[in-house]
Structure 1
Amino acid sequence: MVIKLFKCLKMKNNTNPPSNSTFTHTFSINTEAQRHGESTNSVPLSLCVKTNLDDTILIAIWYKSLLCLFLFCLGGTLFAQSVKLSLTESIDLAVDSSLQAFRAKNMYMVSYWAYRSFHAKRLPSLTLRTIPLEYRRDFTKRYDSNENMDVYRQQQSLYSHGNLSISQNFDLTGGTFFIDSELGYMQNFSNSDNYSQFSSVPIRIGYSQSLFGFNGFQWDKKIEPLKYTKAKKQFLYSREEISETTILNFFTLAMAQMEYDMAKDNVSSSDTLYRIGQERQKIASISQADLLTLKLDAVNARNTFKHAEISLKRAMFSFVSFLNMDKETQVALELPDRPENIEISPGEALEHARQYNPDYLAYKQEMLEADREVDKTKKSSNFDASFSVSVGFNQVAADFQGAYRKPLQQDVVSLGLTIPLVDWGVRKGRANMARNNLNVTKISIQQKESNLEQDVVMTVNDFNIQQDLISSAEEALELATLAYNVTKERFIIGKADLNSLTLSLNRQNSAQRNYISALQNYWLNYYKLRKLTLFDFLRQEVLSISLNQYQ
């Protein structure tokens, strides 16, 4: 919009103005469409104020304040969707608001609640099992002692039962200790007589376990804490992966913006050179072929600009989508400064990787799970014995109070055996499969550890090389820019030919691309090294984050 401020002076006399002379001020806003004569439904805003000459300064200040207010409002409307982001700001935004960050948080929460469930299983549990009401009306088989035979008789009954128990699992033995109490009520309806009974178990203490079977509690005690520790480190690992993706999208957009700016400058420069060529061709300073080449360069520059504009829009959309920002947001990137020189040795990086990388915990988890499967199949292939014992009291009476009066002792001891006689080698086959899988897991883990260590060493070497490449790329960009400017000036005054100018321009464009690529490779390698080691080599500290906010 174009803002115009008009001031009109109206005086009743053309000579010296009296004290009651007045000013009339008109403030109007014209849109671009109105300025070009196009129709619009908007209404210009006009403010007219009459005042004495003594208040002229005050009115001027008031109008100036109003003008600033309108400029502020219009600027907020026009540029609300424009954001300037540095590389660090982009990474912080991505690890907090991107869809990948949301997924990483939820994956961590899955492991967190699994660990909480594991701890809950090791605590005493209180359980109520009840049948509030059961009514039966049917024919049932009964023995008739007079007739010495079984007969069917109609029966109606009402039944209710409840059991309250506290149980505790033992990791060492794999058994379960329990304390419970029971109460039951039964009432029978018949044509001759109705009767009811209460049965109670005031208290009962018992213990049960498998003598030679698989102890899952003991294996869970080894594996579940390891899985949760791995999940916490995996969350940090996922954040560094998001940082890597952010860097890739950041420099893709930076390259697209640079290509767009170069194409735009090339359009202006090629048009200027073509006009200069036309003037020089008039004095026979250049040939017709060179002039046509300049015109072709101008046409190609406009085509390249259009392609660069399309690529910029695509890169912009991908970047803001990854950051989970509004799709209409326009981002202006601020390239990072030349990074500090950091000396990282492969041995130091390997030490941090072995200590903090979640993959090493994953390998340990795989080994424990394979060992657990071997133990499970081995014990299931042999005979199994289960043992249970309970001691308590019970009583039966016609009323509720009597069911708890003078209870009798109740003792239950049970020993069960499960002996596989003939299964045609099924259990043995499962045990052999588990042992073979364990061997495969060992070999696979050795290969994975070797590949991971190689990846760490190669990343360190690439990172150290990239520090030198950035210095070379920066120097090459300065030299290429200086050479192009000099060649362009010499071409304008006729001391350089067209081939030299084109070659100089291509070298400048190539140097700009190489510089951005060098920056991209440097930061990609640095954050990859952070991901592999979970260590910040700039601050010399282990990566960490407070996870209480997600729990």
Structure 2
Amino acid sequence: MKKIPIILLFFILSNLALSQIIKLDLKRSISIASDSSLQAFRAKNLYMASYWEYRAFKAGRLPSMSLKTTPIQYQRDFTKRYDSDRNVDVYREQQSLYTYGNLSISQNLDFTGGTFFVDSELGYMRNLGDNTFSQFSTVPIRIGYSQALFGFNSFKWDKKIEPLKYEKAKKQYLYSREEVSESVITYFFSLAMAQMEYNMAIENVASSDTLYNMGQERHKIASISQSDLLTLKLDVVNARNTLKNSEMGLKRSMFSFVSFLNMNKETQIQLELPDRPVELTIPMDAALLYARENNPDYLGFMQEELNMEKEVDRTKKSAVFDASFSVSVGFNQIAENFGDSYKNPLQQDLISVSFTIPLIDWGVRKGRANMARNNLNVTKISIQQKALSLEQDIIMTVNDFNIQQNLISSAEEALKLSTMAYNATKERFIIGKADLNSMTLSLNRQNTAQRNYISTCRDYWLSYYKLRKLTLFDFFEQKKLTELFDVTENVRP
């Protein structure tokens, strides 16, 4: 016996690995999709963008240190100077070297909207050429404060909005993960239906072949007519065509499911339908309460209203006049050498108040303020409509879920009865006590019952996971999904 070449053996093993068959249940499928699907990847990155935006907001509330510097500036040109001897302006060559640095620490104050700062400066200038001259300029320390008077305080509004915005982003991430679960359920039961159709098609081919062979024997003894025999043969042809179509449908459903899970495209999956769920009745009041506490849309409503109130405040205060106030106290000194520039510094004081008063703007600012107030009223009405629509969606979903449990029981019973009826009719047909129409009708009822059972299971789990999405609450485990929030183990706010 010849040995199989190593490369050929590796190729065979690779193909076997690529075409591996995996058994998956619904829970495992949801877990894989939540970690690996592109939809889950998108949701995670949207959250991370919000996370870093919130981190930037938190960092903006802390003291910041900055360095402004001009390391070196060399200038050589002709500049205009006044010649007092001749009483004329003349151009003279000038060369200079300049360097400057400012180190400052600043802190934004949310309550007042102003900025407090402490800084220090050092400057050096040297004139080159015929008259060489050097000089240092220092500000050892300076303390100051500036803010807008009677104006818009963006820090105060950001302190209200940004934490709310980040909390919404966290819940929106969980909401998106539940949307992934809904998508998994749709693909899962679509594949389950395709596999069931394919299995039924195989059984129908085998059954129709058996019945046709029996019909041929019975036709020889004139037990059935030629028309019934032709009908049996037609059933064989139709069953084989149905098998081919169901095989193509199974491949399409398999490819869609595997692609959504972001698995190898050659992977073959064999599904295990979920067991009948335990009895669970969800109270309407509890579902509405959890939704108001956890649903990101409610936080979105609050954020939307705060944004409009912020705009009203901004336009209202800018409609009158703008005023700003700035004060600083420090020391400064100049000297021809570095050491002397820090000796006996003189006090440096600065107080500044400025106003910008609109005299004639033809009502532009007032119009903007009125428009902002009207937009706030429209927003409040829109929020009420959205909240009402959301509550109606929750109520309908709870009703659907509670009804689906009874439908599953009915679908199970219908499937059991249709299978028993089909087997009994098939046995009676074999012994000649049932006609072909009864046999066909019994088979169709069994197929319909199988389809209805899978559809009912799909609708049940879709209703349940839609409720999880709307309330961010696990009713089986009696836990808030927000308690399990952990988008990444290594990155936390």
Give TM-score scaled by structure 2 length: 0.95
Greater RCO (Cα-Cα under 8 Å, separation 6 or more): 2
C-alpha distance in 2 between matches for 1:79 and 1:359: 43
| Aligned partners of 1:263 and 1:305 also within 8 Å | yes
Is 1:546 aligned with 2:492?
no
Helix, strand or coil at the partner of 1:549: coil
Q: CA deviation at 1:156?
A: 1.2
Is 1:235 aligned with 2:173?
yes
Is 1:430 aligned with 2:354?
no
Residue by residue over 1:267-324, the C-alpha shift from the partner in whole angstroms, topping out at 9 and shown as x without a partner, is 1111111111111111111111111111111101111110100000000001011111
C-alpha distance in 2 between matches for 1:255 and 1:279: 36
In the alignment, what sits opposite 2:393? Answer: 455
* Structure 1 segment 60-75 matched on structure 2, within 5 A: none
Relative to 1, partners in 2 of residues 1:223 and 1:525: Cα closer, same or farther, differing over 3 Å? same
Is 1:357 aligned with 2:295?
yes
Helix, strand or coil at the partner of 1:336: coil
Q: CA deviation at 1:76?
A: 11
- Counterpart amino acid of residue 86 in structure 1: D
C-alpha distance in 2 between matches for 1:413 and 1:281: 115
In the alignment, what sits opposite 1:292? Answer: 230
In the alignment, what sits opposite 2:79? Answer: 140
C-alpha distance in 2 between matches for 1:145 and 1:417: 41
Q: CA deviation at 1:237?
A: 1.0
Is 1:128 aligned with 2:67?
yes
> Among the aligned pairs, what percent are the same residue?
70
C-alpha distance in 1 between matches for 2:407 and 2:478: 24
Instruction: Select 2:351's aligned residue among 413, 424, 436.
Output: 413
C-alpha distance in 2 between matches for 1:130 and 1:447: 55
- Counterpart amino acid of residue 55 in structure 2: R
C-alpha distance in 2 between matches for 1:405 and 1:435: 58
In the alignment, what sits opposite 1:119? Answer: 58
Q: CA deviation at 1:358?
A: 1.0
* Structure 1 segment 371-386 matched on structure 2, within 5 A: 371-386=309-324
- Counterpart amino acid of residue 93 in structure 2: Q
In the alignment, what sits opposite 2:211? Answer: 273
Instruction: Select 1:151's aligned residue among 66, 90, 103.
Output: 90
Can you give the 5+ residue segments of structure 1 that lack an aligned partner in the other structure?
A: 1-27, 29-41, 46-69
- Counterpart amino acid of residue 86 in structure 2: E
- Counterpart amino acid of residue 447 in structure 1: Q
Residue by residue over 1:61-104, the C-alpha shift from the partner in whole angstroms, topping out at 9 and shown as x without a partner, is xxxxxxxxx9xx98994686110001111011111111111111
Q: CA deviation at 1:147?
A: 3.2
Is 1:203 aligned with 2:134?
no
Is 1:177 aligned with 2:177?
no
C-alpha distance in 1 between matches for 2:487 and 2:404: 34
| Aligned partners of 2:425 and 2:442 also within 8 Å | yes
Helix, strand or coil at the partner of 1:89: helix
In the alignment, what sits opposite 1:81? Answer: 20
C-alpha distance in 2 between matches for 1:44 and 1:374: 80
In the alignment, what sits opposite 1:167? Answer: 106
| Aligned partners of 1:201 and 1:392 also within 8 Å | yes
Is 1:325 aligned with 2:258?
no
* Structure 1 segment 330-349 matched on structure 2, within 5 A: 330-349=268-287
- Counterpart amino acid of residue 502 in structure 1: T
In the alignment, what sits opposite 1:33? Answer: none
Q: CA deviation at 1:146?
A: 2.8
- Counterpart amino acid of residue 499 in structure 1: N
- Counterpart amino acid of residue 489 in structure 2: Q
Helix, strand or coil at the partner of 1:343: coil
Relative to 1, partners in 2 of residues 1:81 and 1:116: Cα closer, same or farther, differing over 3 Å? same
- Counterpart amino acid of residue 120 in structure 2: S
Q: CA deviation at 1:532?
A: 0.6
| Aligned partners of 1:206 and 1:388 also within 8 Å | yes
Q: CA deviation at 1:424?
A: 2.7
| Aligned partners of 2:19 and 2:268 also within 8 Å | no
- Counterpart amino acid of residue 312 in structure 1: L
* Rg comparison, structure with higher value: 1
- Counterpart amino acid of residue 198 in structure 1: F
Give TM-score scaled by structure 1 length: 0.85
Relative to 1, partners in 2 of residues 1:472 and 1:75: Cα closer, same or farther, differing over 3 Å? farther
Helix, strand or coil at the partner of 2:139: strand
In the alignment, what sits opposite 2:37? Answer: 98
Relative to 1, partners in 2 of residues 1:161 and 1:75: Cα closer, same or farther, differing over 3 Å? closer
C-alpha distance in 1 between matches for 2:488 and 2:258: 29
C-alpha distance in 1 between matches for 2:94 and 2:179: 71
Instruction: Select 1:216's aligned residue among 144, 154, 177.
Output: 154
Residue by residue over 1:214-242, the C-alpha shift from the partner in whole angstroms, topping out at 9 and shown as x without a partner, is 11000000001111111111111111111
| Aligned partners of 1:109 and 1:550 also within 8 Å | no
In the alignment, what sits opposite 1:496? Answer: 434
| Aligned partners of 1:281 and 1:291 also within 8 Å | yes
| Aligned partners of 1:470 and 1:519 also within 8 Å | yes
Q: CA deviation at 1:546?
A: 2.5
Q: CA deviation at 1:194?
A: 1.0
| Aligned partners of 1:91 and 1:246 also within 8 Å | yes
Q: CA deviation at 1:346?
A: 0.9
Q: CA deviation at 1:550?
A: 5.4
Can you give the 5+ residue segments of structure 2 that lack an aligned partner in the other structure?
A: none
Q: CA deviation at 1:405?
A: 1.2
Q: How many residues align?
A: 484
Is 1:316 aligned with 2:254?
yes
Q: CA deviation at 1:357?
A: 0.8
C-alpha distance in 1 between matches for 2:412 and 2:490: 43
Is 1:225 aligned with 2:163?
yes
C-alpha distance in 1 between matches for 2:464 and 2:86: 95
Q: CA deviation at 1:545?
A: 2.5
| Aligned partners of 1:105 and 1:550 also within 8 Å | no
Relative to 1, partners in 2 of residues 1:255 and 1:292: Cα closer, same or farther, differing over 3 Å? same
- Counterpart amino acid of residue 486 in structure 2: S
Is 1:519 aligned with 2:454?
no
**Pairwise CA RMSD:** 1.8
| Aligned partners of 2:18 and 2:264 also within 8 Å | no
Relative to 1, partners in 2 of residues 1:131 and 1:105: Cα closer, same or farther, differing over 3 Å? same
In the alignment, what sits opposite 2:125? Answer: 186
- Counterpart amino acid of residue 50 in structure 2: S
Q: CA deviation at 1:401?
A: 0.8
Q: CA deviation at 1:189?
A: 2.0
